[in-house]
Amino acid sequence: MAVALFVSILVYACIDRGQLFAYFGWVHPRRRIFWLYALVAGAAAAALVITILHAEHTPLGHTSPATLLYGVTIGPIIEEILFRGGAFSVIYVTAASIKGLLGLRLTIAIVLSSLFFAVAHTRTMGIPLLVFFAMGTLYTLLRWRSNSTAASALMHATYNTVIAIAMLRH
């Protein structure tokens, strides 16, 4: 009930001004180069994760083709709007409004939104949690630097695509 009320108030406040997408950061990045950063960083991070998992003899896992398709298309968009658009923005603004946290607001927002992302993806302690936390941190840093969840969604989709290809090969 509280979530529905919060979403209703947010939608009312933002739609009235036509700023709903902008509030969640679904805008073009500050510079076009961030699109390239998203592609390169997503592919490089996935390659690194695959290498680490292979070295640790940890399998990538298996999932259905439908889940893989979701993970490389709409999934990253929804998750980036939720974690980097919603959670990051709310935490950043909230921390800025609390006396004594203003100087730490960016760090707090990055760490907490990345932690939420990691916990939403795995309950397994160890490498899986660290991987999701690290990826959440990278997505958040790109979102912050580019001022765009669209750029972080592209990075997320690129990462997921490389992982999906590796999963299909095994």
Tell whether 138 is covered by a domain: yes
Per the structure, the complete domain to which residue 113 belongs is given by: 21-169
135's tokens? 């990826």
Domain count, the chain: 1
In DSSP notation, 131-166 reads HHHHHHHHHHHHHHHHT-HHHHHHHHHHHHHHHHHH
CB 139 within 8 A of CB 83: yes
To which residue do tokens 């939608």 refer? 11
Q: How many CB atoms lie within 10 A of CB 75?
A: 17
Domain annotation covers residue 148: yes
If one compares 80 and 122, the residue with the highest pLDDT of the two is 80
* Tokens 């500050």, located at residue: 30
> What is the pLDDT at residue 124?
76
Q: Say if 68 falls within a structural domain.
A: yes
Query: Could you identify the residue written with the tokens 């950061």?
Result: 25
Q: Quote the CA–CA distance of 152 and 136 in Å, as a whole number.
A: 10
- What is the per-residue pLDDT across 17-75, written as a single tens digit (0 to 9) for each? 556 677 788 888 999 999 999 999 999 999 999 998 889 888 887 888 888 888 999 99
pLDDT in tens, 106-155: 999 999 999 999 999 887 788 789 989 999 999 999 999 999 999 999 99
Domain-embedded: residue 8:
no
Is residue 1 included in any domain, yes or no? Answer: no
Q: Give yes or no for a contact between 60 and 167, defined as CB atoms under 8 angstroms apart.
A: yes
In a domain? residue 12: no
In a domain, 63, yes or no: yes
Let me know if residue 80 belongs to a domain: yes
- In terms of average pLDDT, the best of 7-16, 23-32, 33-42, 76-85 is 33-42
Separation of alpha carbons 134 and 121, rounded Å: 12
The token pair at 1 is 């009930």
